[in-house]
Amino acid sequence: MRFRFLWIGRTQDPCFSGLEEKYRLRLKRFFRTEIVWIQEQSKRDEHQLLGQLAKEAALIESKLNPGTFLVALDPAGVECSSEELASFLQRILNQGIPEITFVVGGFQGIPERIKNLADFKLSLSKLTLPHELGRIVILEQVYRAVSILRGLPYHK
């Protein structure tokens, strides 16, 4: 099993990027884990928003591996507890799926085309989170879920 995390745009805040690396390294002890950055399109022209999202969608699609289980982080997705996320990941592991890819959008969110490709849409919260914070939350929650599956005390 491998976990991939696709971010639209690089994490700018060094505090956030440090936390990303912390949880990536924790996860890496149990599963191959990779973070892939997709170039974020320019924020300058609102009239070009659809074109920018289409470019981001094409870049994301080019980074998806065949056979990956695609999870799009979407406010309209399913909310679940840490234990429910652990059960969800266990079901995917039991199916023999070799890879799970989590996509976190940039300032414009995830393109609709990618949401439609997703095998599952996951909501981290009903609250609106900055995308850089959402990245840390999904990394930490996947690590917490793995801890639950491994019977580690971290999740308590």
Predicted confidence (pLDDT) per residue in 49-74, tens digit: 778 888 899 999 999 999 999 999 99
Q: Tell me, what CATH number does 99's domain have?
A: 3.40.1280.10
pLDDT at 42: 67
Q: What 3-state class would DSSP assign to 121?
A: strand
Which residue range forms the structural domain that includes residue 74?
2-155
pTM of the model: 0.93
119, 70 contact by CB (below 8 A): yes
Number of domains the chain is built from: 1
Write out 42-110 in H/E/C secondary structure.
CCCCHHHHHHHHHHHHHHHHHHCCCCCEEEEEEEEEEECCHHHHHHHHHHHHHCCCCEEEEEECECCEC
Phi, psi of 101 (to 5 degrees): -115, 125
Segment 90-114, tens digit of pLDDT: 999 999 999 999 999 888 889 999 9
pLDDT above 80 (res 88) = yes
pLDDT above 70 (res 155) = no
Beta strands per DSSP E along the chain = 2-8, 32-38, 69-79, 99-104, 120-123
pLDDT at 109: 86
pLDDT at 47: 66
